[in-house]
Amino acid sequence: MNSQKVEIEALQILDKFEELQELTPSADWDQSLMSRIIQSKQSTRSKIYLSSLSVLVVLVILFNAGFVLKTVINSDSRTVSHMEEYHTLSKELFINQIPNN
């Protein structure tokens, strides 16, 4: 194909694009739009519900963690020696002789 022919054909293709006929929306376009809007409303509602539910869950977890932390801090942590443990165990198991070392 020579270059002049190619140029003319390119211009013709471009003309076709420029002269594209206007589109008339299909008969069910409005109805379809309305159902999409209703769907979007519902999904917005469920998003709000889900986000408030997740906030609630996070709050419960935080409250629970705080409670556990508080209990741990407040509980008296006293160290028990090995001898004391032996004594307690021996008493429970009715053993009279306990090693001295």
Q: Which range binds other proteins by CB under 8 A, 15-23, 54-62, 65-73, 82-90?
A: 15-23
DSSP code string of 18-84: HTPPPPPPPTTHHHHHHHHHHHHHHHHHHHHHHHHHHHHHHHHHHHHHHHHHHHHHHS------HHH
What is the DSSP secondary structure assignment for residue 88, as one 8-state letter? H
Site membership for other proteins, residue 4 (CB under 8 A): no
Q: Which range binds other proteins by CB under 8 A, 3-11, 52-60, 63-71, 92-100?
A: 3-11
Site membership for other proteins, residue 48 (CB under 8 A): no
Binding site for other proteins (CB under 8 A): 1, 3, 6-7, 9-11, 13-14, 16-18, 20, 22-23, 25-26, 29-30, 32-33, 36-37, 40, 44
